[in-house]
Each structure stands twice: as structure tokens, then as C-alpha cells.
């Protein structure tokens, strides 16, 4: 198993080396605690004068993490708004059907009233008593009983239809109020997300070209150190499970998106955020899952790391603000953060909260 770990470390190192050439994504999570996050300056690469890039990196990580949390909340509000809209449409259709049913019942009640008026207003029972034909009397009595039963049933249905209309109208009104609130929540969160991203981008733009390259190298060094430490625990020794059929399809979809940009709130096909990528990958595999990383963590079955297999989702950070898809050999595919593209990364390069399996 030592050989397998060594080859895996080498494979992930190659991935990270290639990532540097293509400027792919770094983790959205806070720096790994302890010395692994330090990424000290190399002797031949002195710290740029007047700047502390480690502090800049930490500030950027904080800003992008806050943006990720707000993005998850925005996506959740958007999903809820979709549900409210769908419910309003269903209620509107139901109300329309009930209105048609009510109008038909009113027409029948009106027809019955008009028939009695044409008979001179004499009750059917009285008309029957005046009949000299016994058979006509019996036939008439039967018709009266049937008519009374039908009228009672019709009036009951009319009352029920009126009550249902009132209740559905009240429900629709409540959903409209909730939809309006979710829309306002989305607008507020959108402002917060854009504010955090703009601040981070402004901070990055203030760096010189050499500083930006050094900053990227620091991010990748920290990720590689964290991944190496994670693998050195022997965590992969017991992971032998192969992907399920749906898991393989989800992995195939997700890996085909490599190189596409991260855009917050995006669900493809041209761009993705982290949970947009994982939810769409599993939707393509025929298994719809929750839209946000927090809901994926809350709703999907959790499994132990030793039971992990390709297609499973790894949830990161204590607040479940990031998610990637495990593809095997200690690697994930994920959409890291604004300014980065969908890419491969080490599964242990960010703080792992837990593993969930969509098709368990």
C-alpha cells in the first residue's frame, strides 16, 4: 500500500504542477491550520518589499470564503423561490379548475330553480298529490327522492368548492408574500457576494505580476502540503470501492467541465459554482440532489472516508461552504472560487467536514 500512496502523491503533484501552468483554482477554504499553511518564502524568492503576501493570502481566503457562504445562501433562496413560484402556478391552475366546477354547480342550481318557477312555484310533492294515476304517483315519488338527493349533493359540492377556492386563494397569497421575501433576500445576498468579490479582486489587482505569481505558488504549496499530510496517514489504504454506474456517469460529466470558469450561482453549461457543478453532474447521472453544498451535507447519506468511492461528494469547511466530487486516487474535481476554473485538486487539500453519497 506504501507504493500506492507514493504513486498517488506523485500523481497529485503532477496535477498541481500542470495546474500552475494553466492558472487553475485554489481552495476556497481558510488556510490549513498549523505550519502547513505557512508556505515560507524561498531563499531565491524574497518577500516583495512593503508587502506581506501571507497576510494578503489570508485576507483573500477570508473574502472568498465569505462570498462562498453568501453564494450558498443565495442559491438556497433561489431554490426556495423556484418552489414558491411552482406552488403558485399549481394553486392558480387548481383555482381555475375550482372556479369552472363552481360555475357549473351554480348553473345546475339555477336550472333547478328555473324549473320550479316554470311549474308555478308549486312544490313537486303537492303536484304529486294532485295526480289521479297511482303509477304516476309512484314514479314521481322516486324522481322526487332522486332529485332531492341530487340537489343536496350539488349544494354540498358547491359549498365545498367555495371553501376550497377561499383556502387556495389564501395559500396563493401566502406564497406570494414568501416569494417576495425570498426575492428581496436574493437581492441583498447578491450585493454582499459582489461586494466581497470586488474587494478581493481589487486586492489582487494591487499586486505586481511577480507578487501574483508568488501568491499562486503559496496557495499551491499549502494545498500540496496539506494533501501530502493527508495521504501520509494511510487514508487511502482501505479505499477500494469502485464507482457505481450512476457515480461513473456523474464523474464523467464533472470532469468534462474542467477548464470552465467559476461563476457564483452558475449551474452550467458554460460556468459553475462548486455546488452547481456537483448538482448538475448528478442530475446528468439521473439522480437529482440538493442545489447547495450545505443542503447536500444535510440531506444526503453520510459515509466514512474508508468507504469512499468515485462520485461521492466531499464537503469542506466547518460550515459546509464548499464541495468537490471524489474521482479516485485521492483527487477531486471542483469549481474552486471566482477567478479560477473547474479543475482537479487533492481531496485532502482543504479541511474535510465529511463525505456524502447521492446514490446510497
For residue 312, CA distances in Å to 198, 288, 303, 320, 344 come to: 33, 14, 9, 15, 15
Is 3 marked active-site?
no
Known catalytic residue at 149: no
Exactly one of 16, 65, 182, 274 is catalytic; name it: 274
Which segments of the chain does DSSP mark as H helices, in order?
Answer: 2-22, 53-118, 124-129, 134-205, 209-232, 245-256, 274-284, 293-299
107: CB partners within 8 A, 6+ apart: none
User: 65 an active-site residue?
Assistant: no
200 Cβ partners below 8 Å, 6+ apart? 60, 63, 64, 67, 338, 339
Q: CA nearest 31: which of 9, 63, 62? A: 62
d(CA 342, CA 107): 63
- The active-site residue, picked from 16, 65, 182, 334, is 334
Rounded Cα distance, 123 and 230, in Å: 91
Q: Cα torsion for 265, 223, 317, 40, to the nearest 10°?
A: -120
Catalytic residues: 274, 322, 334
Amino acid at each position: 500500500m506504501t507504493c500506492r500512496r507514493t504513486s498517488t502523491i506523485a500523481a497529485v503533484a503532477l496535477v498541481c504542477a500542470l495546474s500552475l501552468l494553466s492558472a487553475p483554482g485554489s481552495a476556497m477554504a481558510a488556510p490549513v491550520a498549523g505550519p502547513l499553511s505557512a508556505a515560507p518564502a524561498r531563499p531565491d524568492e524574497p518577500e516583495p518589499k512593503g508587502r506581506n503576501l501571507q497576510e494578503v493570502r489570508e485576507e483573500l481566503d477570508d473574502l472568498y470564503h465569505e462570498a462562498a457562504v453568501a453564494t450558498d445562501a443565495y442559491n438556497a433562496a433561489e431554490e426556495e423561490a423556484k418552489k414558491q413560484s411552482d406552488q403558485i402556478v399549481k394553486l392558480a391552475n387548481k383555482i381555475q379548475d375550482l372556479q369552472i366546477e363552481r360555475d357549473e354547480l351554480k348553473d345546475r342550481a339555477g336550472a333547478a330553480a328555473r324549473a320550479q318557477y316554470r311549474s308555478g312555484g308549486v312544490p313537486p310533492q303537492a303536484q304529486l298529490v294532485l295526480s289521479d294515476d297511482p303509477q304516476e304517483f309512484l314514479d314521481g315519488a322516486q324522481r322526487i327522492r332522486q332529485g332531492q338527493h341530487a340537489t343536496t349533493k350539488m349544494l354540498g359540492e358547491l359549498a365545498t368548492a367555495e371553501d376550497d377556492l377561499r383556502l387556495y386563494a389564501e395559500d396563493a397569497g401566502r406564497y406570494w408574500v414568501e416569494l417576495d421575501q425570498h426575492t428581496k433576500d436574493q437581492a441583498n445576498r447578491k450585493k454582499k457576494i459582489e461586494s466581497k468579490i470586488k474587494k478581493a479582486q481589487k486586492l489582487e489587482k494591487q499586486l505586481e505580476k511577480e507578487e501574483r505569481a508568488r501568491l499562486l505558488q503559496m496557495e499551491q504549496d499549502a494545498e500540496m502540503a496539506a494533501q501530502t499530510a493527508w495521504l501520509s496517514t494511510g487514508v487511502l489504504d482501505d479505499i477500494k470501492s469502485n464507482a457505481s454506474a450512476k457515480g461513473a456517469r456523474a464523474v464523467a460529466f464533472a470532469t468534462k467541465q474542467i477548464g470552465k470558469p467559476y461563476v457564483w450561482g452558475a449551474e452550467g453549461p458554460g460556468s459553475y459554482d462548486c455546488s452547481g457543478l456537483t448538482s448538475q453532474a448528478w442530475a446528468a447521472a439521473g439522480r437529482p440532489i440538493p442545489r447547495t453544498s450545505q443542503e447536500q451535507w444535510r440531506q444526503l447519506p453520510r459515509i466514512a472516508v474508508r468507504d469512499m468511492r468515485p462520485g461521492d461528494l466531499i464537503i469542506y469547511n466547518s460550515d459546509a461552504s464548499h464541495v468537490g466530487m471524489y474521482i479516485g486516487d485521492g483527487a477531486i474535481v471542483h469549481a474552486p472560487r471566482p477567478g479560477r476554473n473547474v479543475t482537479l485538486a487533492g481531496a485532502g487539500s482543504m479541511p474535510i467536514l465529511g463525505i456524502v453519497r447521492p446514490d446510497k
